[in-house]
Amino acid sequence: MNNKDTFYVTSPIFYPNAKPHMGHAYATLLCDVLTRFHRLVGMESYFLTGTDEHTEKIVKAAEAQSKKPGEYLEEMVTSFKSLYAKLNISYDQFIRTSDKDVHWPGAIEMWKRLAKSDDLYKSSYTGLYCIGCETFITEKELVDGLCPDHNMAPEEVTEENYFFRLSKYANQLKELISKDELKIIPKSRKNEILSLIKSGLHDVSFSRPKEKMTWGIPVPSDESQTMYIWVDALTNYVTGLGFGRGEEKMYFWPGVHVIGKDILRFHTAFWPAMLISAGLELPKTVFVHGMITSGGKKMSKTLGNIIDPQELINVYGADAVRYYLLRHVSSTEDGDITKELFREAYNANLANGLGNLVARVMKLAETYLSKPVTVQHSVLNKELESYLDKFEIQKAANHIWEKIGKLDAEIQETKPWESKDEKVIGDLVIKLAHIGHSLSSFMPDTSEKILTAIKENKMPEALFPRLLAPERSDGGQARKDGSTSSP
Ligand code: MSP
C-alpha cells in the first residue's frame, strides 16, 4: 500500500444522545484544519466523522421523548450535520454505526478476523458497568460510589461474554508505542498509556448478552450476544473506507485519529491490538487533545456554564468561533471558553487585529493603486507548514497573528498614506495576501474574502464588526457598529 500522497483523518464518532456541544465542535474542527491544510499542499485527503449509535443511552433518550430510536437518531444526526455545516466543516463522509450497508459488514468482518486469530473466548464475568463510559470500571476508579466522569452509579453485572485477549498484545504495544511506530502526540499521553500498559493489560469483554444490549450488532455465529459498543465503534475507522465491503477507499489507511484524552486507552491499546489481530496496519498517529471547560469547570446544565457552539456562531459567525477554538485553546491541554473571554478575543484580535488590518491595507490599495496587485500563486509558508506537520495547531495560529502584528507595525512605520508610494502599498498588499492564504485552513471564509478583495482591489465589508453591547440572550445578532478605524 502506497499512501504517502494521501492523508486520512478521523474524528471520534460521537454519541448522539444530546445535541452537539463545544467538545464535538472542537474535535471536528481540528480534523477540518488538518484536512484543509493537506488538501492545500496537494495531498489526496479524506476526513471521516460520524455517530456512535449503539448505546443504551440512545434508547433511553428516545424513550424519554416517546420516540423510536430510529426517529430520534435521524433528528440528532441532522443536528450534528447542521452544526458542521454552520462551522464550515469539510468532512468527506458522515458514518453512522447503525448503517447496515456501510458499517455492519466491516464490523462483522473484524469480529471474524479476531476469532480466526483465536483472540476471542467466552467467559463469565462480574463487574461494574458504567453506561456513561460504556465500559466496565473498577471499584478503585469510583468516587463515593459514582463514576467520576459521569456522576452516576455503575450497574453490577454478571454475564457470559466473549473476551478479547488484550493481555497477549501488551508487550508488542509497549514496544510499538515506545518506538513511535504508533505515534502518540503529545508525549504526556504517550507516557500515560505506556504506564497503563506497564501496570498490566487485562483481557476485555468484547460482547454483551443480547437481552442487556438489544440495540447493536449481533455477534456472528452467536445470536445470543451483541458486539461490545467500542469494538463496533472503533472499527468505523476502516469500515468508512470500505473494509468488509469492497475496500474501495482502503488505500487511505492507515490514517490519523484525533481524539480527546478521555478515550486514550481505547485508541492506543484496544484498537491497535484489534488491528494487529485482524492483520491490518496500525494508525499513523493518534493526536490527543484536551477538554474544553468554561470558567475552569466542565460544562454542565447544573452549573449553567454551557456555551452552545450554534449560538456563538449565530452571533459572531463561524470564523470567529473557529478562530477562538484554534488560537485560544491549547491543542493538547485543557482550554477555557466563556462569553467574556470570547468577546475579548473577538474585539482585540478579530475586530481590531485582523479586521482592522485588512481594512487599512485595502483602503490604501483602493485609494492609491491604479490596478489590482498580481499576487504570485502563494507558496505555503514553511514555518506554518512545519507547525501543522507536527499538529501544533495553536502555534500555527499564533504564527499567523504574529505576521498580522508585524504588518500592522510596518504600516505604522512607513505611513504610506503620506508617501502614497504605489510600490510600498503594493508590497503591503502582497503581505496581506500571504496572510489571507495562510488563513485558509483556519478561517476559510475570511481567507476567501481577503483574497477576493485583493483580486478586485476593493475594500471588503467589515470582516469582524466591533461589538458594542453584549450579545442578546435570545441568540440574536449583537449590535455591531460596522466601523473599522482608518489609517
Ligand atoms: N462514542 C465515543 C467515541 C468512539 S470513537 C470510535 C465517545 N463519544 S462522546 O460523544 O462521548 O465523546 C467523543 C469525543 O468528544 C471524545 O474525544 C471526547 O474527548 C470529546 N469531548 C467530549 N467533551 C469534550 C469537551 N468538553 N472538550 C473537548 N472534547 C470533549 O466517547
Whether 133 is a known active-site residue: answer yes
Assigned domain for 251 exists: no
The percentage of residues in the chain with a pLDDT greater than 70, rounded to a whole number, is: 94
pLDDT for 475 equals: 43
Which residue is closest in CA terms to ligand 1's atom 30? 23
Residue 80 placed within a domain: no
Active site residue 21: yes
Lowest mean pLDDT among 174-183, 296-305, 416-425, 449-458: 296-305
Domain-located, residue 403: yes
CA–centroid distance, 259 to ligand 1, in Å, is: 7
CA dist list (Å): 371 to 326, 361, 422, 424: 35, 14, 10, 14
- Among 158-172, 193-207, 364-378, which is the least confidently predicted range? 364-378
- How confident is residue 169, by pLDDT bands cut at 50, 70 and 90? very high
196 within some domain: no
Per-residue pLDDT band at 304 (split at 50, 70, 90): confident
pLDDT at 377: 67
**Substitution candidate for ligand 1 out of 10, 24, 84, 328 with most atoms within 8 A of CB:** 24
Domain that holds residue 357: 339-456
Active site residue 301: yes
% of residues, the chain, pLDDT over 90: 83
Say how many Å lie between the CA of residue 148 and the centre of ligand 1.
16
Among the listed ranges 29-33, 207-211, 267-271, 319-323, which one has the minimum average pLDDT value? 207-211
Q: Is 24 considered catalytic here?
A: yes
DSSP track, 19-39? ---HHHHHHHHHHHHHHHHHH
For residue 483, what pLDDT band results from cuts at 50, 70 and 90? Answer: very low
> Is residue 255 in contact with ligand 1, taking CB distance under 6 Å?
no
Q: Is residue 380 part of a domain?
A: yes
| pLDDT of residue 21 exceeding 70 | yes
pLDDT tier for residue 469 given thresholds of 50, 70 and 90: low
Residues 6+ apart with CB under 8 A from 113: 277, 278, 279
State the average pLDDT over residues 189-212.
Answer: 95
Whether ligand 1 lies within 6 angstroms of the CB of 27 is answered as: yes
382: CATH: 1.10.730.10
State residue 261's pLDDT score: 95
Pairing type for strands 207-209 and 222-227 reads antiparallel
Q: How far is the CA of 12 from the centre of ligand 1 (A)?
A: 7
For the chain, what's the residue count? 487
Q: Which atom of ligand 1 is nearest to the CA of 52?
A: 1
pLDDT of residue 272: 98
Given this model, what pLDDT does residue 3 score?
Answer: 55
Range of lowest pLDDT (39-53, 58-72, 346-360): 58-72
Centroid of chain to Cα 341:
21
Angle between helix axes 187-198 and 170-178 (nearest 10 degrees) is 160
Structural domain includes residue 31:
no
Rounded to an integer, what distance in angstroms lies between the CA atom of residue 306 and that of residue 229? 28
Within-domain flag for 479: no
pTM of the model: 0.93
Total of domains in the chain:
1
Query: Which residue among the candidates 140, 179, 301, 382 is catalytic per the annotation?
Result: 301
**Rounded Cα–Cα distance for residues 355 and 446 (Å):** 9
Of 31, 57, 147, 403, which is the active-site residue? 147
Reported as a pLDDT band with limits 50, 70 and 90, residue 484 is very low
222-232, pLDDT tens digit by residue?
999 999 999 99
Q: What is the pLDDT at residue 299? A: 83
Ligand 1 proximity of 232 Cβ (cutoff 6 Å): no
Predicted confidence (pLDDT) at residue 54 exceeds the cutoff of 90: yes
The residue with cell 468561533 is 321
Q: Residue 473: what pLDDT?
A: 46
pLDDT above 90: residue 428: yes
Check whether 485 has a pLDDT greater than 70. Answer: no
Residue 482 pLDDT > 70:
no
- Ligand 1 contact, 216 CB (< 6 A): no
- pLDDT value at position 460? 95
- Taking only the tens place, the pLDDT of each residue in 355-405 is 999 999 999 999 999 999 998 866 678 999 999 999 999 999 999 999 999
> Strand 297-298 to strand 285-289: parallel, antiparallel, or no bridges (unpaired)?
unpaired
pLDDT of residue 487: 38
In-domain check, residue 323: no
Residue 335: CB within 6 Å of ligand 1?
Answer: no
Side-by-side strand order, sheet with 44-51: 93-96, 44-51, 6-14, 256-260, 285-289, 183-185
Across 46-60, average pLDDT: 94
Environment class of 370 (CB within 10 Å of its CB; exposed 0-12, middle 13-18, buried 19+): exposed
